[in-house]
């Protein structure tokens, strides 16, 4: 009996040792690095691309990278990031040659935005959106704006603090393929026909990252195939406002009771432009009005959201 007890105790000690070794490995390994492959991508700068890029960067990037003091994309602490991710700081993406991306080539920027891998090989986890579904033309517009003379991208002498990733983030980056780099596309990604509202609306949902916040769980997102994300567009993700209060994202599926299935197109457009809901209440941060979206985009977005499978998920008001 004593021999069996000793063997069992030894097995437990070994198992605990292996678990602790694995935990230590994940913790000290940190966010991994990968090979930054060389790709071909060139964004010729035109006034049209700069304007399109200004619109996209304002809606896609400014929320995370815009410093309110300098009004440049020099980065800030993401106080509204889910606390499970750790202490997140966005990067300086101004034209500063050392502290920003002033020396990066068009291809290096495109490669990061598609795969999540920086020129030095460092991988940026999913709190940095990956533009897998963004068309080549829209990607060129983003880069054209980053090269422009707009004040938001002027070289700013700010060294962004290093993000302190949580153990959860490090763990997911190790075991979950959806938290690892994506392959760079081998074919051109074309902008969908805007006349096809459902197709273009889905493109906007993916392109502007609506599904990441409005699905059920940040750790269960499927960026490659957004529709397969847990609770796709049904809400329930936990975020923080600027005061650190927990805010739960809303259900924006076609469900008539708990989603937006009863909203008219006019009500949806008003809400998106002004932040005013049909109920008379207003958006609560981190949701903000999308004032730069034009009517064509909003109508396509509405059409697609109304076509989504209804999910019954009543979310209490964030008040």
What are the pLDDT digits (tens) for 228-237?
Answer: 999 999 999 9
User: Taking residues 193-201, what's their average pLDDT?
Assistant: 96
User: Taking residues 1-12, what's their average pLDDT?
Assistant: 64
What are the pLDDT digits (tens) for 77-91?
Answer: 988 887 888 999 999
Listed in sequence order, the DSSP H helices in 41-101 are 47-60, 62-65
CA distances from 226 to 93, 128, 172 (A): 27, 16, 18
Checking if the pLDDT of 7 tops 70, the result is no
Domain annotation for the chain: domains and CATH numbers? 47-179 (1.10.760), 197-307 (1.10.760)
Spatial neighbors of 18 by CB under 8 A, at least 6 apart, are none
Query: What is the predicted pLDDT for the residue at 243?
Result: 80
Q: Is 177 helix (H, G, I), strand (E, B) or coil?
A: helix
Listed in sequence order, the DSSP H helices in the chain are 2-29, 47-60, 62-65, 106-115, 136-146, 167-175, 197-207, 210-214, 265-274, 295-307
Distance CA 78, CA 85 (A): 10
Q: Is 93 helix (H, G, I), strand (E, B) or coil?
A: coil
Checking if the pLDDT of 11 tops 70, the result is no
Checking if the pLDDT of 2 tops 70, the result is no
Spatial neighbors of 183 by CB under 8 A, at least 6 apart, are 115
Distance CA 146, CA 49 (A): 11
What are the pLDDT digits (tens) for 98-148?
Answer: 999 999 999 999 999 999 999 999 999 888 889 999 999 999 999 999 999
Q: Confidence class of residue 17 from pLDDT cuts 50, 70 and 90?
A: low
**What is the share, in percent, of the chain residues with pLDDT greater than 90?**
71
User: Taking residues 177-200, what's their average pLDDT?
Assistant: 94
């Amino acid at each position: 009996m004593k021999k069996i007890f000793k063997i069992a105790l030894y097995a437990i000690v070994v198992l605990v040792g292996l678990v602790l070794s694995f935990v230590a490995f994940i913790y000290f390994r940190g966010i991994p690095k990968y090979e930054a492959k060389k790709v071909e991508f060139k964004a010729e700068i035109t006034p049209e691309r700069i304007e399109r890029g200004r619109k996209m960067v304002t809606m896609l990037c400014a929320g995370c990278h815009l410093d309110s003091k300098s009004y440049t994309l020099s980065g800030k602490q993401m106080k509204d990031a889910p606390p499970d991710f750790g202490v997140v700081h966005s990067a300086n993406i101004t034209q500063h040659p050392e502290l920003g991306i002033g020396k990066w080539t068009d291809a290096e920027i495109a490669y990061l935005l598609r795969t999540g891998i920086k020129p030095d090989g460092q991988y940026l986890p999913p709190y940095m959106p990956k533009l897998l579904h963004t068309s080549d033309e829209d990607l060129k517009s983003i880069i054209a704006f980053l090269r422009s003379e707009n004040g938001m991208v002027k070289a700013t002498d700010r060294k962004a603090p290093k993000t302190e990733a949580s153990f959860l983030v490090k763990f997911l980056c190790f075991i979950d393929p959806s938290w690892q780099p994506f392959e760079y596309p081998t074919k051109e990604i074309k902008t969908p026909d805007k006349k096809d509202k459902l197709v273009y609306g889905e493109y906007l949902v993916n392109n502007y990252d609506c599904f990441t916040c409005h699905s059920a769980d940040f750790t269960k997102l499927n960026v490659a195939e957004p529709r397969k994300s847990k609770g796709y567009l049904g809400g329930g993700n936990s975020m923080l406002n600027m005061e650190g209060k927990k805010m739960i994202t809303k259900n924006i599926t076609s469900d008539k009771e708990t989603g937006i299935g009863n909203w008219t197109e006019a009500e949806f457009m008003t809400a998106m432009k002004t932040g005013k809901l049909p109920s008379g209440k207003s958006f609560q941060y981190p949701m903000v009005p999308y004032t730069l979206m034009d009517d064509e985009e909003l109508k396509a977005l509405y059409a697609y959201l109304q076509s989504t499978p209804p999910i019954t998920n009543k979310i209490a008001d964030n008040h």
